[in-house]
């Protein structure tokens, strides 16, 4: 079962302290589907992350011909794996235009990630989002 953005927002709102929220983020990462070893390549690696993070993009077209991006991802670090799960819930399965229009900073502020991540993890999260938005721009240009 795929965790939706709504599920994640509900989970963060339900939990009061950040120790429990960190555990929740780790649990989200553990729920990611298995990521095949053959996809752990340099080409799929996200630059700017201290931990290793891999994202694989699949671009399809909807009935109107608009590009839709679907993602798979993983990390070698538990909390970062959870951040990957959150990023996938936000962006995967959406059109390139929706991805580019998403107020991700507002969303991350709403759940408190901006204030409770180390600078390294914040930079890694930013790198993941930049990669996805770059993919969306490329899909629109294709």
Catalytic residues: 49
Backbone angles phi, psi at 128, to 5 degrees: -60, -45
Report DSSP letters for 32-92, one per residue: SPP--GGG-STTTBPTT-SS-EEEEEEEEE-TTS-EEEEEEEEESSHHHHHHHHHHHHHHT
Distance in angstroms (rounded) separating the CA atoms of residues 81 and 95: 23
Cβ(108)–Cβ(8) below 8 Å: no
């Amino acid at each position: 079962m795929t965790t939706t953005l709504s599920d994640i927002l509900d989970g963060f709102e339900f939990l009061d302290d950040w120790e429990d929220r960190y555990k929740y983020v780790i649990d989200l990462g553990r729920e990611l589907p298995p990521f095949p070893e053959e996809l752990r390549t340099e080409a799929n690696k996200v630059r700017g992350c201290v931990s290793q993070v891999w994202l694989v993009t699949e671009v399809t077209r909807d009935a109107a011909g608009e590009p839709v991006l679907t993602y798979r991802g993983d990390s070698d670090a538990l909390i970062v794996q959870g951040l990957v799960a959150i990023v996938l819930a936000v962006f995967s399965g959406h059109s390139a235009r929706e991805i580019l229009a998403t107020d991700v900073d507002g969303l991350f502020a709403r759940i408190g990630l901006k204030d409770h991540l180390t600078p390294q993890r914040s930079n890694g999260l930013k790198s993941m989002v930049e990669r996805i938005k770059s993919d969306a721009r490329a899909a629109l240009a294709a």
